[in-house]
Structure 1
């Protein structure tokens, strides 16, 4: 008998108690509070209710407030029109099990069945599969962590205790105002038809919200769905990672010093003569590498004279530091290339040794989309050079990219350094007219200066 009791104790501890404590206290693998100065989220559990939920939706619509509803599956099936209205009016809909039963008293298979049945019901009514899950009472078991890859678990950061009538509307309002700050996720209820709740309690919740919502809006707060708050939180974390602390500043400073030393050591020339802020630098050297077919039937061979291309990593760092997203960084890179390529062509083609230059060649992890500028992309042969180049460029990417080192684990198969090559013939064909314009502009500027 004692062994059975001990077994039950261990089972309850590891299956239910510890996962619940870890998730609630430390936020492990759950979302419970956002990072935002002004955005807050209202979340409602246990509904929909045929009386209280429509009144609540009326109030939210009046103030153009968006919220998140964690619905009980059997309640949703009984009130499909209300669920459809939630979706139609722009609210987010998550899962609160099919019936309001604790995950501590259900097997993993039973929890999965509850989630699946509720998900299917919501999808039938709205046409969208729900992405968020809140277990009843916020109680998680060990296997809820494993299901996180399929659905994000959402808890809360503020709980006014609105499920009992005795709490009263004024006390609910006061508690919500006391905890009012950016990133807050409020746990509220639009249905009292569950174990431990009072059927008429949502009346107090709605009455409290009638005063709380205008007061929060007047203070400059905005009400957003949980998924929107999560996006704002991700952006805030990304920005925080980009902000250079003392150690990061030291590392970046040392790296930029090395970049300048590298430019001096190898005598790199700016694509725009005299401009140290040019996006592209280069040097003329001999090519040592594999044979590369170039457009137009030409071939680049070891020993050929080339323009070895180098991006301005200091400028890249500035782009990455200021960019708010990966897309914005990509747009900045494309525009920088568009501005600089004609200048590079003018600088190269006006050299006395230009006729002997076979191609413009570079090695970069930023190689997607360079075909639009005439470059051919070539895989680097496996070996020490490719490995060392990849290590260096990954370190560089972790510094310049807006998402920092997190980006290295995201689609890492695409973060591979490759050689890009542009034949001199293609350089002239694409940028010959631009070279003439650049040269004419230089002559005009010189004449103006002499005058």
Structure 2
């Protein structure tokens, strides 16, 4: 007997107790309260009721307030005119099962059947498919998490026991006002026919609600439908993300300036600071360039750096990642004669052998005369990849999705062109000789501020 009881208890824990505990306590997969602004949401369960729902709708219309109704499919079938009125007067209609049974007492198939049929009933009445769902008593089973693909599950942050008549309107109003907070989702009932409820309980709810609405409005609260409440949260989150992004970008640019100052990195053209450079010693593996020149450890190089602030501005004005890529590669092409001029200015003292950088360009660079080589495996390759992918996510709205969808494509490589080839193709003060169109393979092309050690 004891073992059977423990077995049943274990099954119930897995099937309903733990899932309900998780959503009620931690809000996993459900919406319980707004996070932005003072707007609060009135929600009503268990209706429609032929006696009380019309009175409630009359009150909401007088006060010009829109609410959310989680209706039972069986009652929607019996009182379609009330469902239609809810919709026509601007309220949101959601689902509260076909009958008021807890999901813990039904199989997943039964829950799905109740919901699907209720959705069909409501859709036939108002012409829209409801997607907001509140399980009766806020109790779910383990398989209800699968419903999140089709529904937005809504719980509450304020519940006041308005299904009982004891205490009358004063109890309900007192509890509503004492628990009222920004973003509250309030659960009330416009029917007293549910198991455990008093039939006349909605009378006191309506009286309390009438006074509560006036008090809440005087305190500066707005009343929103659930979809409006959630939309406000989403918009606010986007603004916060934008603010965070601007802060990150600002810090990133400050860090760039610190690095540039520390490494004495200067603009190629102070009047058009698109590229920066420094002359340094190459520390990487031997690299055979396109024209047969050998770049070896210890050779002097002019190391290129793309101005990330200009890159961010270009990204903000680009239509897409591909558009950004085209802009960047043409910028490189147009700047190469000036880069060669800078090499000529520096080379008599430095004996520069090549122009070098690290980039995410995998195609097209060879048409400009550059040689590409993979970074040798090690900590530097890992750090470079992290740096460039982070930069990709920061500078462009599509960067995050691009980094996720094609991570294998976003592999930084070493890029180099010998001074001899640079002189041949891009004479200082001249025009670009090679006019072959370049087709970029990937959206972000950026140069890192270090050569491999």
Aligned equivalents of 2:227, 2:268: Cα separation in 1 = 46
Match of residue 216 from structure 1: 216
* Contact 1:66 1:225 survives alignment (8 Å): yes
> Which one has the largest radius of gyration?
2
Paired residue total: 378
Measured after TM superposition, the shift of residue 387 of structure 1 is 7.6
3-state SS, counterpart of residue 125 of structure 2: helix
| Deviation string, structure 1 residues 214-244 (Cα, Å, up to 9, x no partner) | 2222222111122222233344455666777
Q: Does 1:412 align with 2:404?
A: yes
Q: How does 1:68-147 map to 2 (within 5 A)?
A: 68-147=68-147
Aligned equivalents of 2:235, 2:402: Cα separation in 1 = 16
Structure 1 residues 411 and 122, CA gap change in structure 2 (3 angstroms): farther
TM-score, scaled to structure 2: 0.65
* Contact 1:43 1:69 survives alignment (8 Å): yes
Gaps of 5+ in 2: 280-289, 293-301, 344-356, 362-372, 413-425, 427-431, 436-453
Aligned equivalents of 1:351, 1:393: Cα separation in 2 = 25
* Contact 1:70 1:96 survives alignment (8 Å): yes
**Greater per-residue helix proportion:** 1
| Deviation string, structure 1 residues 266-319 (Cα, Å, up to 9, x no partner) | 845377x458xx7x545699xxxxxxxxxxxxxxx889xx99773525994xx9
Measured after TM superposition, the shift of residue 186 of structure 1 is 0.4
Match of residue 368 from structure 1: none
Match of residue 308 from structure 2: 312
Measured after TM superposition, the shift of residue 135 of structure 1 is 0.8
Which of 390, 394, 397 is 2:389 aligned to?
394
Q: How does 1:56-67 map to 2 (within 5 A)?
A: 56-67=56-67
Q: How does 1:239-258 map to 2 (within 5 A)?
A: 256-258=254-256
Aligned equivalents of 2:433, 2:67: Cα separation in 1 = 60
3-state SS, counterpart of residue 166 of structure 2: helix
Aligned equivalents of 1:218, 1:363: Cα separation in 2 = 60
Aligned equivalents of 1:353, 1:401: Cα separation in 2 = 30
* Contact 2:389 2:403 survives alignment (8 Å): no
Match of residue 53 from structure 2: 53
Gaps of 5+ in 1: 286-300, 320-328, 366-379, 428-451
Aligned equivalents of 1:202, 1:253: Cα separation in 2 = 56
Aligned equivalents of 1:195, 1:237: Cα separation in 2 = 40
Aligned equivalents of 2:141, 2:6: Cα separation in 1 = 19
3-state SS, counterpart of residue 153 of structure 1: strand
* Contact 1:66 1:224 survives alignment (8 Å): yes
Aligned equivalents of 1:176, 1:209: Cα separation in 2 = 9
Structure 1 residues 250 and 35, CA gap change in structure 2 (3 angstroms): closer
TM-score, scaled to structure 1: 0.66
Aligned equivalents of 2:17, 2:308: Cα separation in 1 = 54
Measured after TM superposition, the shift of residue 131 of structure 1 is 2.0
* Contact 2:52 2:190 survives alignment (8 Å): yes
3-state SS, counterpart of residue 82 of structure 1: helix
